[in-house]
Amino acid sequence: MEYLLFIFAVGLAAFRLYRLRRLQHPLPPGPTPHLWSGNVHQLPSSHQWRTYAEWGHTYGPVISFRVYSKRTIVLNSLKAATDLLDTRSSMYSDRPILWMLTELAGRGLSVFNIPASHPWFKKYRKTMHSGLSPRPTMSYRPIMQAHSRKMLLSFAASPTQFRSHIRKNAASLILEIAYGRTSEDQVEYFVSVISVIEEGTKAHAVVVQPGWWLSSDLLRFIPSWFPFAEFKRLAAFQKKQMKRLDSVLYDWAKGQIESGDYVESFTSLNFRQNMSSALYAGASDTTVGILIAFVLLMTLHPEVQKRAQAEVDRICEGRMPTWDDEPDMPYVGALIKEVMRWSPVAPLGLPHVVTQDDVYDSYFIPKGTTVLANIWAIAQDETLYPSPFTFDPERFLGPNPQFDPRKFIFGLGRRVCPGQHFAETPISLNVASVLAVFNISKAVDEQGREIEPDVRFTSSTTSHVENFPCSITVRSPELLELVATESGRTTSD
C-alpha cells in the first residue's frame, strides 16, 4: 500500500511540475485547433512546407500544431533550427516512432530512421563517414568523371530525354560505387529497379504526414483486409518494395564478394545492407533533383548561362573542366549554390523528436514532440536572402556573400546527411561540363515561338522540378568529340 501511495505521489508531483511549466511557458503559437482533432482540417495535402512558411509569417519562426494527440513543431528560421538541432543536438537527434513507417512498413532500422539511441546508429554513421567523407570521395573521382562523360554523350544523342539521362547517370554511378557493377546490362537493370525507390518515396511521404500518425498509434492492429484499412495496405506495399531494393543488388554483391569475382565497392568495403541502399536513396536523389533544376534555371536565365560559360571557356581554354578548376570558377560555384537554394531537394528534411521537456525562446516543447526544420522556408528567408524568389548567383559573390545554403539544405545536427560531400562532388563536375559542351534554351513550337516552361514541383519527401520542355544543343563539337574519344566512343554512337 505504501509503495502504491509513493508511486501515486511521484506521479502527481511530475504532473504538477509539467502543468507548472506549461503555465510558465506556453507552447509555440499556431493556427487555432479543434478540440478533439486539432489542426487536421488545416493541413494541406501537398507542399506542406509552403503552408508552414505562411504560418511562420503569421505566428513567428517557431510554430506548432496538433493532429489529434500528436504535437508537431516547425522551425521556419535558420536560428531556431540551428539552436535546437545543432546546439541542443543531444535532445533533438532522435526520430519519432511512426508505426506506419518504422514497424508496419519495416523501415525502423534504415539509416534515415534508426533511433539515435540504437547501438547500430553510431556504427552506421561511422561507416558512412568513412566511405563518403572528402578523402574517400577523392578516390571515386575517376568513376564520377567516366559516368559524367557518358551523360554528356547521351545529352547530345537524345537531348529531349535529358531527365532520363540524368537519372541514369546518377543510378549507374551509385551502382558502381555501392555495389561494384559496371556492365551496361546491369546498369539498365538497376535503372529499372529505380521505380521501386520512387514508389517507396511516395509511400514514405504519405506515411510521415502528420495526418497519418493517428492511424499509426490507434489503428495499427486492424487487419489489412478490414474496410478503411488502406494505410495497412500502403505500408505493406512499401515494405515489400523497399525490401526488394535492399536485397536485390546487395545479395548480388555479396555473392560476388564470396566468389572472389568482384569490383571493390562501398558494399564490399562496408558490409551493411541498409546503408548501400541509403547511398542511392540519399546521394542519387539529391544529384538528380539539383541537376534537373539546373537545366530548368539555365532555360529561364540565358544571361546567367552565358556568364558561366564564359568563365568555363576562359579557365579551360579548349579542354574539359576538372575539379582542379573549381577555385578558379567562382561564378559557376555561386550558380550551383543558388540552384541548391532556389530548389531545395528535401524541403522539410526528415522529422526529429525531442527526447525530454525543453524550453526555447520562452516556449515549452514537451518531450515526444515531433520537430521539423523547414528547409524551404529557410532558403526563402528574405532576411538571409533578399529577393529570395529571384534566381541570382551573384548573391554568393563579392566581399559579403550571403549565407551558404549547403550548411542547411543537407540537414542539421547529428542527423545531417553523411553523404553531403559525396553528393556535391559529381554535381560540380556535371554542371561545369554541361556548360562547356551545350547551350540550354527554351523549346519552340511548330510556329517557332518559344515555349515558356510551367514551373511546378513534385510533393514528396523530396521535391523535384516537374517535367518541362527545353532545347539542348551542342555549342562545342570539338569538346564533344574529345569527350567521345575519352570514352572510347564516337559522337554518332
Residue 200 near residue 241 (C-beta atoms within 8 A): yes
Whether residue 367 contacts residue 354, with contact meaning beta carbons closer than 8 Å, is answered with yes
Amino acid found at 317? E
Q: Determine the Cα–Cα distance for residues 249 and 375; give it in Å rounded to an integer.
A: 32
Could you give the CA distance from residue 252 to residue 6 in angstroms, rounded to a whole number?
A: 59
Q: Specify the amino acid at residue 21.
A: R
Beta bridge partners of 23: none
Amino acid identity, position 262:
Y
CA 130/CA 140 separation, integer angstroms: 13
What angle is formed at CA 160 by the lines to CA 157 and CA 166, rounded to 5 degrees? 80
How far is it, in rounded angstroms, from Cα 372 to Cα 48?
11
CA atoms within 13 A on the CB side of 9: 6
Residue 194 vs residues 244, 339, 423, 461: alpha-carbon distances, Å: 11, 24, 18, 16
Would residue 322 be called left, alpha or beta, if left means φ above 0 and alpha means ψ between -120 and 50 degrees? beta
As to burial, measured by CB atoms within 10 angstroms (0-12 exposed, 13-18 middle, 19+ buried), residue 360 is middle
| All cell numbers assigned to 62 | 517557431
According to DSSP, residue 103 is labeled: I
Q: Which residue has the cell 526563402?
A: 380
Bridge partners, 65 (sequence order): 72
What is the three-class DSSP state of 478? helix
Neighbours of 238 (CB within 10 A): 25
Whether 417 has a binding-site annotation, put simply, is: yes
Gyration radius of the chain's alpha carbons? 24
Output the known binding site for heme. 417
